[in-house]
Amino acid sequence: MRDFSWKYFTLTGDVESYMLYKEMDQVGAETHPDAAWDGDDEELIADHSSLRN
């Protein structure tokens, strides 16, 4: 989730994504909710990017 938040922020400039990224950064390595993530976040970014237009 942390990587997705950063990638989404860099593509869109969405401040809430940056805040989520920083929050996940503070949580640290205690838990890894994105460990099961298949890494295919391009589709999600495309879906969410269309909402900003």
Dist CA 40 CA 29 (whole Å) = 21
Question: What pLDDT was estimated at residue 32?
Answer: 56
Dist CA 9 CA 24 (whole Å) = 14
Question: What pLDDT was estimated at residue 36?
Answer: 46
**pLDDT tens, N- to C-terminus, the chain (53 residues):** 788 999 999 999 999 999 999 888 888 755 655 554 555 566 656 666 555 55
Question: What pLDDT was estimated at residue 43?
Answer: 60
